[in-house]
Amino acid sequence: MKNAQHEKRLKKLLAEAGKCHPPSPVSGLQLLRTIIEGVLQTETTPRHSSRAIVAIEKEFVDFNELRSAASRDMVECVGRDFPLGREKAEMITRALTRVFEKASDVSADYMLKMTRKELQQHLDEIGLSPFAAAYVMLEGFGGHAVPVDPALAECLEIDQCIRPGMEIGQVQSMLERLTPPKGARAVHRLMRDFVEKSAKPLQKKRAEAAARAAQLASQQAARQEKAAAKARQQEQAKIQEQAQAKAPEQAKSKQPEQARPAAKSAEKPGQAKPAKAAQPTVKPIQKQASPKPPPGPQHKPAAWKHQKKENKAVKKAAGLEKRKK
């Protein structure tokens, strides 16, 4: 379907919007309540969000106590089944805290003096979503704005009022272009009723989208597992090849010295053979003679004493012959 046909169907839907009185001027405290309403109304119906804000007002004394409350306490107050309960609780706490930091009080009186451009920028600075910021502009200041959340965008896509895949900002710009300034409040109420009537088709569409996402995630996980298994096989094959290449060298290094084949050196013609290295000579170990005992009367054997007497006799005979001559 072409864009012109989408726009034609959207105009037909917008023609069902009735008339609505502009909002009354608000004070700083009323503006804080409008901020909380805008946060809570995202992805739910006005009736559901109204029950939630009534429960909050009963549970907490004022906005300052709500600012200091833990997110889990706020979730318990609005109900655990409230859509995006934790995210909305954190957004409310963050917005109230930044308002307090700006004004040194839990009051939004200072926003009433801002221009439209400054206000839009400031609502973004305090952490509001595009839907909540547009809701504050519409209900708090009577501005020309049509709040759009993902639920509304998907419902318009199901009804073929917009082309598939349009972003929320584009849908909001399109609605504001086709809506007169005085009719923005009526169009907003029409859009919230439209979302409530389209709850079943929206639930079916989201269930199908979740199933497709789960299937894609499963396929991607299977592909990743297959790639990982292939990488492990390649790594194992590489390790085996390296082990097979190293096997002959390891076997050769384990052979005994005498069993190793002599390496044949490739000799070029005219090249002398290298001289063999001289083998070191091993000297035989000689027996060392046991040392003679030191001289002394107690250690002289009889043979030694006899030899000494013979020597003295020889010397005496030699001396007698010398004297005769």
Q: What DSSP letter does each residue of 235-299 carry, written as one string?
A: HHHHHHHHHHHHHHHHHHHHS-TTTSPPPPPPPPTTPPPPPPPPPPP-PPPPPPPPPPPPP-TTT
**Which token pair is 214?**
């789960």
High-pLDDT (> 70) share of the chain, %: 79
Report the alpha-carbon angle 95-101-107, nearest 5.
Answer: 70
Please tell me which of 16-30, 103-117, 262-276 the model is most confident about, judged by mean pLDDT.
103-117
Is pTM beyond 0.75 here?
Answer: no
**Which pLDDT band, with edges at 50, 70 and 90, does 263 fall under?**
very low
Q: Give the Cβ contact number of residue 254 at 10 Å.
A: 7
- Count of Cβ atoms closer than 10 Å to residue 131 Cβ: 21
| 43: Cβ contacts below 8 Å, ≥ 6 apart | 83, 84, 149, 150, 151
Nearest to 145 by CA among 191, 98, 94, 87: 191
**Confidence at residue 257, expressed as pLDDT on a 0 to 100 scale:** 52
- Give the tens place of pLDDT for each residue, 124-180: 999 999 999 999 999 999 999 999 999 999 999 999 999 998 999 999 999 999 999
State the burial class of residue 142 (Cβ atoms within 10 Å of its Cβ: 0-12, 13-18, 19+).
middle
In DSSP notation, 179-239 reads S-GGGHHHHHHHHHHHHHHTHHHHHHHHHHHHHHHHHHHHHHHHHHHHHHHHHHHHHHHHH
Residue 264 has pLDDT above 50, yes or no: no
Give the length of the chain.
325
Question: Of 175, 184, 31, 167, whose CA–CA distance to 105 is shortest?
Answer: 31
What own/partner pairs with CB < 8 Å and gap ≥ 24 does 278-282 have? Answer: none
Reply yes or no on domain 3-200 having CATH 1.10.340.30.
yes
Interacting residues of 151 by C-beta distance below 8 A, sequence separation 6+: 43, 195, 202
Q: In 3D, which of 108, 112, 136 has the Cα closest to residue 41?
A: 136
pLDDT of the residue at 178: 93
State pLDDT tens for residues 36-67. 999 999 999 888 999 999 999 999 999 999 99
CA distance linking residue 324 with residue 32, whole number of Å? 158
Give 127-163 as a 3 state SS string: CCCHHHHHHHHHHHHCCCCCCCCHHHHHHHHHCCCCC
- Domain ranges within the chain, ordered by starting residue: 3-200, 201-248
Distance in angstroms (rounded) separating the CA atoms of residues 132 and 36: 8
- Helices 150-158 and 199-254: crossing angle in degrees, nearest 10, is 100
